[in-house]
Every structure is written in C-alpha cells, then in structure tokens.
Structure 1
Amino acid sequence: MILRLFSVLSMAVATTAVSRMNEIMVMDGHTVRNDHSSPLPHTYTDSEDLPNAFTWGDVNGVSYLTRSLNQHIPQYCGSCWAHGSLSSLADRIKIARKGKGDEINLSIQYILNCGADVAGSCHGGWHTGVYQLIKDKGYVPYETCQIYTACSAESTEGFCAHVDTTCSAANTCRTCNTFSSMGGACTEIDVFPNATVAEYGEINYDVHAIMSEIYQRGPVAATVNAEPLLGYKGGVYTDTSESQQTNHIVSIVGWGADKSTGDKHWIVRNSWGEYWGEMGYFRIAMGGNVLGIEEAIAWATPGQFTVSNYPCDEDGKNCGKDVHLYVDPSTEKGLTVQRRLRGEAN
C-alpha cells in the first residue's frame, strides 16, 4: 500500500509522447521520518561560520564524494530515492574515514529487494524510508553482496520478470562459484560487510539548516522537480516560474557563489550517469525553493561500517548455511524454483 503517490508527468520528446513516472512516494510502512536525539548542526552553527562556497567534492584538494551512478541501467527503474539516500550515506562514511581506504558503496539492490513496504520500489519511494529500513533491519550490505539490477518485485521492465527479488538470504548477500554447465552453485553469505545508520531525519524549507547539515556532517538527499532538468546542459538553473512539485530525489553535496553577484547555488549530484549535465551534476539557485529543491531534505549519520571482513572462501561455503545449484531464472524450472522460494503453489 502507498500513503502518497504524486501524479504521473507527461512530456514530449521530438514527436514521440513519453510518460515520465513520478519517482516519489511514501510507503505505508514508513512510520518514522525522524529518529535522532543529538543536537542538530543548525543549532550550533552560526551563519557567519558557513563559508561562501563549500563542496565535499573539493576539501583542500580532496574529494570525499563516492562515485556517480545511473539508476536507468540495465533498464529503467524509478529508484532515485534509493540512489540519493545511499550515495549521501556512503559519502558520510567516506568522510568518517577521512577519505582513506577503498571506497565503500552500499547495495541499492538490497533496498529494492527488501524495502517495498518501508522504502520503495522501481515505481518510487522516499529517502528517509531507506534510513528507517536500515535501522529496522540493522544493516545495509555493501554493493558487492547485491549488484544493482534495476529490478523490484512488481517491475516487468526489461529482464525483471525473470529476476527473483524476494527479500531472502540469497538476495541479501550471495556469490556464485562457476558456470552452471560446470556444476556451479550459488551460496548465501551470512557474514558480510555492511553499514548501519545511527540517526536520521528531515529538514524542510530551511536554507540555514540545510547548509549547516551539509557543512558539519556531509551530503544530504533532496527532492526536486526533475522535468525541467531533463535537457539541462550546464550552468546555474534559476527559473523560478517552473513548478515546485517534486518528483525526483538527488544528493546535495555543497554550494557555490557567483563571483560577480555573490548569488549562491546548490551543487547537486544526480543519478543519471556522467553523460548527463555537468558530469552527472547540476547547479541550482539557492533560496526560494527553486524546483522544490529545499522542500524535503533527508540526512543520516553512519553508525558502524565494516573495514575488516571475515574471510570467506571464494565459493562462500564457509560463510553460508545454504548452497543452491544455479538454475536459470528465465526457464520453467527456474520459475518453479522461484515460486517455491516465495512459498507459492506450483
């Protein structure tokens, strides 16, 4: 069930009509928007303490940002809400590690597999729902446990109809040791690297609070009306005549200022790949809630995260309870196995 689902948008590209799905919705299992007790940054950060320009992409020559992602491959999936929230959390883990060590990326596919009731699906979701899910479950696996397939339970896009996305141990973390023609098996990994969330919350329509949160603790997830940005070619977006009704979620990583006017703008990472915008980023005027960018901001502080793993064997058998012979999910036998795993009648 869904508590809130905004309307589907429509646009025309050349002569072909294209329906643009709104990727924002709040699931009925998302019952806690704010879960924190620590003082919030805006309560101890004065405006004069905030620099004129700041980005986590360049702090004394060091970038604390994780890599850009593309939510739309290998097929379309409206998972911006998961990308924006998990990318921001991964950035904050990198900040906590002072930029040292290998980059930690979190499994968006796990959120799609296990978060339908709380966080969302390929048909939309909500950023703080992701953080509630992680707190409820107690972890989010690293990306190497579950690579992004752009599928969720209800999606039939591309090859999704043949993909098992049930929330199971195998769809939390697994590995497969060789080709099925060579007797390959896939093993559930029960001991896997993961991260947790300590606290999370929302900020609404408060520029000082947003800036303070970013400056003191790291990037945040934000809603935005993405339709006017579909053809964005660069520069600072300033059009205040466009709707503030939001339909997409992104990450704000900092802000800049025009050298001549002093006007400030947000620096925002999207999840449409580096081929779009300014290498996957865009800039948008600060203040005035342009395109709804300041309407609903989500933040989360990292709890614990794995930096030294339990060493599993290559086939994973010493780290898992169950080993499954690989079955091609597109075959009738594979579909039968999937139905059995879901507890459905054959």
Structure 2
Amino acid sequence: MKFSTLIISLLAASMAADEGDARRISEFVMLEGHTVTDNYFSPLPHEYIAEEDLPKEWDWRNVSGHSFLTHSLNQHIPQYCGSCWAHGSLSALADRIKIARNAVGDDINLSIQWVLNCGGGVAGSCWGGSHTGLYEFVKAQGFIPYDTCMPYLACSDDSDEGFCSAVDTSCSKHNVCRTCSTFASKGGTCSEIDIFPNATVAEYGTYNLLSWNRVHKIKAEIYARGPVAAVINADPLLEYKGGVIKDGGLLDMIPDHIVSIVGWGVDESSDEYWIVRNSWGQYWGEMGFLRLLTGRNLLGIESSVAWATPGQFTVANNYPCGEGGGGCGGDADQTNGPHTTQFYKDPSLDIEAVQRSLKEGRHVSL
C-alpha cells in the first residue's frame, strides 16, 4: 500500500470512529472499491517551479482582472446531501478546464449527479465519499458528462431525504444523460441521449502530511495547473462569518469534509493564508469562501490534498440532437472521448513558458 493510500485511509477511518455530533456525519469516506489514490506520469509542478519563484499571492478568482473559476454551488439543496467530496473535487477539475481554455467560452460544469448515480462503489454517495475516489472513478469510466445532461438533485440510491425516495438514481443510460420533450399531458416523453459533451481525467494524485515542504508543493500545483481538492474539519466552520482563521487550537484536526483551494494570499499582519472554496452556497462565509493560515495544517487542510488534470473535453456542439433528444448523429461510444475536443496540455510540456509567466507575474495558458 502506498503511503498516500495509507494516510487517506487512516484519516477517513479516524473520522468515522470519532463521530459524536448528531448534527453532522463525516462526509470524507474511503470506499472499498477505491484502491488507487495516485495515478500519474507527468512531472509535478514543484519539480520545475522553485519555492522562491512563486508569487507572494495568487488567486484564481482574479488573475489580471479575470476569474478562472466556474460558478459556486450549494451541496445542501434541494435537500441535504453529504456530497462535499464531489463538489470540491469536480469544481477543482472544472476550474482547470476553464484555465486550459483561458476562460474563453461558456463555463463547463461537470455532472455531480451522474457520479452520485453511478459512482457509489468507488467515489461516494450522499453519505460521503472521497476526492481521490471520484478521480479514480471518472478516469476508469473514461468520461464524465456535463451538468446539462444530469443536473444536481442531491440524491443517491441510499438517501431518502426530501423527494429522494421518489427519484430513480440507478446507474442506467437514462441517468447518464437525458432530456424531456414537453409536458406528459401534451404527449411528451423523457429520452436518454447517447451522444453528449463530456470530459475525461488524464492523471490524478495527492500531497499529504508525509510530503516534505508540502506548502511549496501545494502552491506550485495550484499555480501551474489550477485549484486542488482538500480535506478539512468542518465543525469550526459552521458559524464562520469571515476573516483569516488562525486559532492554534485548530491544529491537525481530523477531517470530515472536502473543499477546494483556489489560491493563497497575505493579510495585513504578513500572515500567509489559503483561499478556500466551500460548497455551502454564497450566503455562507466570504461569499462561499474562507481563509486560513498556511503551513499549520489548521483544520487538517494540508493532510490530504488531491489534484486531477483533464485529458480532453468537448468544446463544440459535435453531433447535436434535437430539442427532445432525438436525431443525434455519430458514434455513440463515449469511452473513446468526445468527437470535437480540446486536449489538455500539461505545463510540464512547456516549462520555459511557465518560467516566463513567473518572471512576468502572470499566468500563461498552454
């Protein structure tokens, strides 16, 4: 067993054993079907970006006046669902797709509900999951549909919250991508769509407490390739109203939640902090974000940080269907990827461009 697998498993097991708050469950769960926490071959960003070359501050919400983040989400509506692991992991992946496109075109948002429908044995459900489990699942499937195929319902087959008991969340073709033509009273039907825009995962991996100089590694990863998914203990965040979290009593807490880290900054006291996106809606925290000190593992945020790179993703309406989902053209086999695609170029393929961007204080999309 790799050290990263061991660390993640121990963290998840510790949290499960430590649950005592009746209000919350641990949403960070390692499932038995999840066996591969690291699957990559490209050089990691810290191998070609020196710590002293990184900018003092970096925030993907504002790079030269442009945001490279997709829209924020709320995992708790239309009913409660412990799917933070899917929100944090997929928002980071979608942000990386936006970065790869240099923020050109409509945002590509990935289907959390499809993962809830189909990824229960590896990725997770409304009762919890893991960031690396999600990345393993999507890579193994060979695709993930966009959320216009299967929007978020906050339901999985093991949840009976709200209207979930009346919703079909089985992993059928109907629950991968579908649309409805008109009202049933007008003769309308709902149909599965066989050919649909989708994205893939090329590589994924982790940084954890055993990672030497982990802050440098996490920052280099964020700068070079985009936001990352990270575990955290959410209990002290329930009533968070803003500001930089610095409480030394929050060191090395056992994580039970997953968020994404989108950058870092420095406050008026010259203390460096992580910029973290949560999945509790924009009414919470600092418009859905929080800040906390780097390098201290506050709330356990540096104990298991996961990243994934996209492989390819649909950028044009390749084989359009009719409004009711019929009349689609082309090869329906999605395992070989979408037909009209953009292929991701890892920054390690053009290290000179990365070095130029660091010197010029900007980011270069490859």
TM-score by length of 1: 0.88
Letter of the 1:266 counterpart? W
1:308 aligns with 2:316: yes
Unpaired stretches in structure 2, ≥5 consecutive residues: 1-8, 330-366
Give per-residue Cα distances to partners, 1:65-98, cap 9 Å, x unaligned.
1111000000000000000000000000000000
**Corresponding pairs, count:** 312
Distance in 2 between residues matched to 1:215 and 1:308, nearest whole Å? 27
* SS of residue paired to 2:261: strand
Q: Secondary structure at the match of 1:216?
A: helix
CA RMSD of aligned residues (A): 1.5
Query: Which structure dedicates a bigger proportion of its chain to helix?
Result: 2
Decide which of 275, 286, 293 is 1:285's aligned counterpart. 293
- Distance in 2 separating the partners of 1:171 and 1:189: 10
Secondary structure of the corresponding residue to residue 299 of structure 2: helix
Q: Which runs of 5+ in 1 are unaligned?
A: 12-17, 321-346
The one-letter code of the counterpart of 2:263 is G
In 2, the alpha carbon distance for the partners of 1:159 and 1:63 equals 35
Name the one with the larger strand percent. Answer: 1
Residues 1:137 and 2:146 are matched in the alignment: no
Partners of 2:68 and 2:246 lie apart in 1 by 27
Shift of 1:276: 0.2
Q: Distance in 2 between matches of 1:281 and 1:118?
A: 28
The correspondence for 2:235, drawn from 223, 227, 241, is: 227
Q: State the secondary structure of the residue aligned to 1:93.
A: helix
The CA distance in 2 between the partners of 1:308 and 1:46, in whole Å, is: 37
Alpha-carbon shift at residue 240 of structure 1 (Å)? 2.1
Distance across 2 between alignment mates of 1:214 and 1:154: 34
Aligned counterpart for 2:109 among listed residues 74, 97, 105: 105
1:26 maps to 30
2:39 alignment partner, one of 18, 35, 41: 35
TM-superposed CA distance for 1:44, in Å, is: 1.1
Partner of 1:334: none
CA contact (8 A) 1:255 1:265 kept: yes
CA distance in 2, matches of 1:53, 1:9: 36
**TM-superposed deviation, 1:246:** 0.3
| Alpha-carbon distance in structure 1 between the residues aligned to 2:72 and 2:248 | 27
Q: TM-score, normalised by structure 2?
A: 0.83
Match of 1:182 among 167, 181, 186: 186
Name the CA distance, whole Å, in 2 between partners of 1:236 and 1:217. 25
Show the 5 A alignment for 1:1-346.
4-5=12-13, 6-7=15-16, 9-11=19-21, 18-205=22-209, 206-242=214-250, 244-259=253-268, 261-309=269-317, 310-319=319-328
For 2:137 and 2:327, locate their aligned partners in 1 and report how far apart those are by CA, in whole Å.
Answer: 28
